[in-house]
Structures are given as structure tokens and as C-alpha cells.
Structure 1
Amino acid sequence: MKFIVYTTVALISLGGFSACNSKKAKVKSVEDTRSCIDKMSPKTEDIANIKKVIHADQKAWQLDTIFEKKVKKEGFNGNVLVAQKGVVIYEKSFGFASFGGKTKDSLKSDSKFQLASMSKTFTAVAVLKLIEGGKLKLDDSVQKFIPDFPYHGIDIKMLLSHRSGLPYYAYAFDDSVRRVKTPPDNNQILKWFAQSRPKPYNVPGRSFAYNNSNYMVLASIVERVTGMPFDQYLKMAIFDPLGMKNTFLFTTKNDSINVNRTFGYEGRRKVSVDYYDSVIGDKGIYSTVEDLFRWYKGLNSDCLISKKTIKEAWEPRSFERKGIKNYGYGFRMILRDVDSKHPKYVYHNGWWKGYSTLFWFNPKEDYVVIILGNRKNGTVYRVKSILQVMEEDSNVSDLDDELAD
């Protein structure tokens, strides 16, 4: 078993995309953010006591038992990291990055997985940072940035909360529109929307409907506002500031990022490149469990984005149906009860072409569960036993059902 304790995490934060316009401003921002995170991180002399208080050794043993079962009986193949109070209490790799050929490449802690819909959390924060910087407003219309967008009455907050009523791009276009040799990117999808105007799913703002089109449009808006390709903006505004050195977008052109990259599988069959892989914002980010722990720290501090803004992202936005499950701005949540507007758990899951992923945390208890699988497997989303360990409570509600994307 591998245990890792992070005593100091060096992070960077940029207040807005203009902060990179000068080398001097960027260096200053790095220093400020590192100082911010250092003040939050456990001191070396405090770690042993923190581990004792949270029963870290006992939890690690119990978690290992759970994941060994997921591997042996349910076929899990992937990486896991669980941390609490700033301390990693369990981290382990199970299985292989690839199954092809005569040899198998074992997974490592820095193996890179396609995050699938978990990528939406990054798109949402990218948008919210631009809102904090005064470059966007929640009630801005799509046409303000994409004039020929054919669906009116849709604003930024509707896209963030999946309340736009847009048609789903993956199913909206017939073969007469899709006859292109090169797989489409965001701009091509937007062009098809403008040309063929497929019927919308619903009236804007009427109801929640989870839809990848929303986050494709948001990434396209970010590009128009910043004048930068989406992958470059993410790198500048989020990945580099947080020290996420092993995180990148599918469309990034850099051979070095393919080091330790995994492939998605269904059983032992490698999933081929998909027609819509180059459509981004809704999916497409590759990362590691350790980089995602940095992401968790960035979200739960004022170092990357203000706590006020992230609190708004974690507010439920849909109440058409009574229930404890809801969606905010780029984040799913489990509410404390059906009448609550406060989440007990915040999370996002993902599935895309063999990858099954989960990013789950409890803000009050300050723990995070990160599971990245590269072989399609529903056990990734079954978290009840893990929560029982982390909360030392055998009566945790059954949350295993319907968490898959």
C-alpha cells in the first residue's frame, strides 16, 4: 500500500487572464498564491496528530479492503486517492494503463486519465473566474459572444446549470450535415447549429436537463472572451497556477503530455478515437489523482477563486422535482435533505469511451475521494462503503444508484 503525505503544496493563482500579460505580474501572483496555500497546509509537526484525530491508519486499512474487493470481484482498473484535513490517507494504483500487445503497462500515481464529464468542473470555474474579473456576467446572452447562435433567451447561468433547453449536439445532426472528413471541433458544431437549427429540447430556463452542448458552448464563449484557445486559457488560469503539471486538454498539441497517458477499455477491447473527441468543454481533460488533489485544494480556498463565488457554484439550481440530488454551476451535489439548499456532498462523475471517473468531497468533513478508472466499470460510482469509512458511520444513506453519467 502506498501512503503519501503532502506537507507543502506550491500553488499559483491568477486573478484574471490579463495577469499573464507581464512576466513580473505572473511571478508576483505565484508568490502570493504559494503563500496562501502554505498557510492552509498542515505543518509537518502537526501531521501525526491530524492522522491520529481522523483515524487515518484505520481508514486506510478499511479503504484498501474495499478497493481490493472492487478489483477482484468487480473488475476495477484504475487509480485512487483519498485525503482528509489536507493529508493523503490512501493512494493506490490497480491494474494497467494499456492491455495491448505482449506486455502490459502498469498504472502509476502519475498515470493520466480522461476525466470525461468531470471536465465540466474546470469549464465552470474557468467561466466563473472570468465573471469575477468582470469579463462575463451570469445574465449575458450567448449572442453577445456568438452572434449567429440560433437559440435565443439563453444566458450564461442557464448553460452552467443545464437549464438552456438546447439540443444535444451528439444526436442533433443528420448525415447530410455531418459529412466532413475531419472530426468536428467546437466551431464546427456551432456552425452546424447555425445552419441546420435542430429543434431545442425545451424552453430556456424551464427545467434541468443534463446536456453536453451547454459546456461546449461555454468553452467556445471563453475562447471568444479571452482570445485564447480553450486549452491555453485552462493552462494559464488553472493548471499552471495550481501546479497541475500532468493535466492537459485533448486538443493540446504537445507530444510530452502523452507520457504516462492511459487508454480507455471496455473489457479488454481498446476504445478507438471517437468522432466527437475534439469537442471540448464538456469533456476532454486528462489528469492524475495527485493533480486532482491540487484541484480540490484550489476549490476549497480563496487562492484560485473566491469562496463566495465557489459557494454560488455549489448552490442547487433546479427544484422541478423533489429530491436530494441537484446541480449547481458545474458541480453535482447531494443535499442535506429534500428541502435544503445546502449540499452535504459535492461531486462530479464522468464516463467517456472506457473511462469511468469520480471526484467526490464532503466540505464540512474536509475529505475528498478521487477515483479514475480506464476500464468501463460501474463500481467507480458506488461510494456508500467509502463514505461509511470516511464518516465512521454505518448509517450513511444509500447513494450508490444513478451516479453514473
Structure 2
Amino acid sequence: MKKVILYILLLGIVAVIGFFIWFFAFYLQVPALNIPKDASPTERVTQIDNWLEQLHTERKFNGGVLITKEGIPLLAKTYGFTNASRNIQLTNKSSFRLASVSKQFTASGIMLLKERNQLDYDDLVSIYIPEFPYKRVTIRHLLNQTSGVPDAYMSLAEKNKDSINILTNRIAVDLLIENHPKIDFIPNEKYQYSNTNYILLARIIEIISNQSFEDFMSEQIFTPLGMKTTRVWNLLSKDKTFKDKTDGFEDMAGEVREIKPNFIDGVAGDGAVFSSIEDFVIWDQFWYQNDLISSENLKEAFKKPTLNNGKKSNYGFGWVILNEDTVMHNGVWLAANSYFVRNTKKKTSFVLLDNSSNLFFNKIIENLK
């Protein structure tokens, strides 16, 4: 009897090992995108399109792609479905959750207030939030992710979730003030990515504008720019859904399940922006020139901050600065994957969006670089 049990256990172990070998060696792989070096731009786009179609057929991509040159789309297309039911096709107007790519939108709201002389980047946060316990932290520190403010809003919310219906920016900031976790480092000592920094920025926008972050962004940024399929949306929004919205879902080895927001998803600023392939054409051009923010002010977003020790960091205002010509940001939340990169020298941009909790997302990006 013991031999039988041992044999069954060994079979189980072999099966588990076999699954992991299959999962990492085969399932997680994507076919290589082999584009000849002498391929014309048209040929390159065609091959990328065909490759993404193949990935979608293999259920390894469900989303949209945008490739532009000098503001003109070379490839703007979606592949797949808007939600877990897989019965509504994506279009170029489909609005995807951008997750942390939302941070550059939040930064644009702060920049607009600066343009209107309603704040300065080097103002102390405590000017706008008097109870704010980290007295040396400025708005610029928040933008540049150099504040030292602990990235604690999610953990504080979890500890207090029994008394919270839906987390808001105000509640998140109040929790930070009430609990006052120790600062991680002296402001501007180093770079440390923090969602809490951008919740604070969104809260400052709300306080100065006397509007919700959602209404401010809609009325002051998206509508003037003509971005018709871009908005802030979360559990606090008046409408429970909206036209062209995509919903996140997990598609693992053919098994599909919906990924729903939870009580934390009433905040915005670190995320909560939804946008489409169509509107990203406008958003890319916004960062070159627009009627809302001066060219001189726009340059602030792409300056590498100088730290206290004289070294440079590489996070601007909602942008990771790769070099003097290239900036990018990515995001992951509630099954959404997003990636946006711009090369200002070549005047090119690349956007990849997916609403299917895609384990292959980074591999796809690597092939497309």
C-alpha cells in the first residue's frame, strides 16, 4: 500500500514539474517577430499587424496598438474583445484602463494649474493640505517621485477597510495624515516610485479647482483637446459604465474570468484614466504643442531632476526619461496592461494596450522595440 501511495505521489510531482516546464518553456513564449532590416515601412507595419493577429488567434494578445510617425498613424488597430464575455469586438474607440500611464495625465492637470498661476512646482504640499505631516515635501517632489512619502495608501486602506465603503482621494490622504507613517527618506534624496505621490497630486487638483479629479480632467483637459474617448472612471463615477469602455479579464490557458474593481478603486491620480487608440494620437501630439500649456512649461515634464547629491534621476512628470530623445511609461492594474513610448527626435510613438491580464505583454513589447 505504501508503495502505491509513493508511486501516486511521484506521479503527482512529475506532473507538476511537467506543467511548469510546459508553462515556462512553451506556454509563455511568443513567436518571434522577424522583420528583415531592408523591409520598407509599409512592409514592417504589415508584418507587425499579421504578427499581432497571430498572437490574438493564439489568445496571447487582446488589445490595441498604435504606431505613429510625425503624428500620422502608421498602424492603429485593435484585436479581440471588450470583456470576458468575448462577444463585443474592440475598436479604435474602445477605452482601455491605462493603470499607471494615467500618471502623465495627472501631471498635465498640475501643469495646467501652474500655467494658470494657481500653484508653483516648488510650493510645499502643506500649503494646500495644511495637516500634511511631511513639511519639506513639494509638489515637484511628488511629480518626480522623490518625495520620500511612504507609498502607504493601499496598505492603510486595507487596515481600515471595515470603516471604508469606497476609498476616495480625500480618505486616502486623511489616512496618511492620521497615521503619519515615518518618511522613507529626506525629500529629493533619491527616486522611489510611489502611487501615493500621485494620489496626493490628484487631491491637490481637487482642492485648488473645487472639483472632483474626474470632472476637472474632463472639463479642463480632455474636452478642450477633443479627446472624446478618454476619461477618468472609477467606483465613484456617477455612471456605472460608459460607452466603449473595456473591462479587464483573465485569460489563462483558455479559461476566462472577469477581473472586477474592489473598494480601493475609488481613487484616481495614480491610475483610473481610460483612453483609446484613437485618442492617443491626440495625446502624443499634446506633449509637443497644445493650446493649454506653453511649450516652456511642457519642457518641465521631461527634465531629469537633480538629487541632493548632484546626481540625476530619470523620472520627470509622469514620464520615465530613458534618454534626451526617448520617454516612456507602463502600467498594470485589474488585468490592464499599458505601454507608451515616444521618441521626440524621430517623431515616433508606440502604444500597446491590453485588457486581458496578459502574461505575454512584456515579451510582445520586446519584440516590437
Of 156, 167, 189, the match for 1:206: 189
1:185 aligns with 2:173: no
Aligned Cα root-mean-square deviation (Å): 2.6
- CA positional deviation for 1:62: 2.9
> How far, CA to CA, are the matches of 2:115 and 2:312 in structure 1?
29
Deviations 1:283-312 (A, max 9, x none): 001111111111111111143322222222
1:386 aligns with 2:368: yes
TM-score by length of 2: 0.81
| Counterpart contact for 2:189–2:307, Cα < 8 Å | no
> How far, CA to CA, are the matches of 1:322 and 1:272 in structure 2?
44
The corresponding residue for 2:138 is 155
> How far, CA to CA, are the matches of 2:96 and 2:336 in structure 1?
8
The corresponding residue for 1:98 is 83
TM-score by length of 1: 0.74
> How far, CA to CA, are the matches of 1:334 and 1:62 in structure 2?
27
Deviations 1:195-219 (A, max 9, x none): 1112222222111000000000001
| Counterpart contact for 1:324–1:334, Cα < 8 Å | no
> How far, CA to CA, are the matches of 2:130 and 2:312 in structure 1?
38
> How far, CA to CA, are the matches of 1:226 and 1:120 in structure 2?
18
Of 368, 382, 396, the match for 2:349: 368
Of 224, 246, 253, the match for 1:262: 246
> How far, CA to CA, are the matches of 1:200 and 1:325 in structure 2?
19
Deviations 1:319-374 (A, max 9, x none): 69999982111111211xxxxxx2x3111111111000011111111111111100
| Counterpart contact for 1:66–1:386, Cα < 8 Å | no
Q: Describe the shift of the 1:303–1:274 C-alpha distance in structure 2 as closer, same or farther (beyond 3 A).
A: same
- CA positional deviation for 1:171: 4.5
Give 1:67's aligned amino acid.
Answer: L
The corresponding residue for 1:235 is 218
| Counterpart contact for 1:356–1:378, Cα < 8 Å | no
Query: 2:296 is paired with a residue of what secondary structure?
Result: helix
- CA positional deviation for 1:114: 0.7
| Counterpart contact for 1:98–1:105, Cα < 8 Å | yes
Give 2:42's aligned amino acid.
Answer: D
Work out which structure has the larger RCO, using CA pairs closer than 8 Å and 6 or more positions apart in sequence: 2
Q: Describe the shift of the 1:194–1:323 C-alpha distance in structure 2 as closer, same or farther (beyond 3 A).
A: closer
Q: How many residues align?
A: 325
Query: 1:173 is paired with a residue of what secondary structure?
Result: helix
The corresponding residue for 2:105 is 122
Structure 1 or 2, whichever has the larger Rg, is: 2
> How far, CA to CA, are the matches of 1:305 and 1:154 in structure 2?
24
Q: Describe the shift of the 1:143–1:362 C-alpha distance in structure 2 as closer, same or farther (beyond 3 A).
A: same
Q: Describe the shift of the 1:298–1:256 C-alpha distance in structure 2 as closer, same or farther (beyond 3 A).
A: farther
- Deviation larger for 371-380 or 225-234: 371-380
Q: Describe the shift of the 1:194–1:105 C-alpha distance in structure 2 as closer, same or farther (beyond 3 A).
A: same
The corresponding residue for 2:278 is 290
- Deviation larger for 228-237 or 136-145: 228-237
The corresponding residue for 1:88 is 73
Give 2:84's aligned amino acid.
Answer: F
The corresponding residue for 1:274 is 262
- CA positional deviation for 1:99: 2.2
1:146 aligns with 2:134: no
Of 336, 344, 349, the match for 1:355: 336
The corresponding residue for 2:305 is 317
- CA positional deviation for 1:70: 4.0
1:79 aligns with 2:61: no
Q: Describe the shift of the 1:318–1:180 C-alpha distance in structure 2 as closer, same or farther (beyond 3 A).
A: farther
> How far, CA to CA, are the matches of 1:181 and 1:228 in structure 2?
22
Deviations 1:212-270 (A, max 9, x none): 00000001111111122111111122101111111111147454961121111222221
List gaps (5 residues or longer) in structure 2. Answer: 1-38
- Percent sequence identity over matched residues? 29
> How far, CA to CA, are the matches of 1:322 and 1:62 in structure 2?
45
Q: Describe the shift of the 1:146–1:232 C-alpha distance in structure 2 as closer, same or farther (beyond 3 A).
A: same
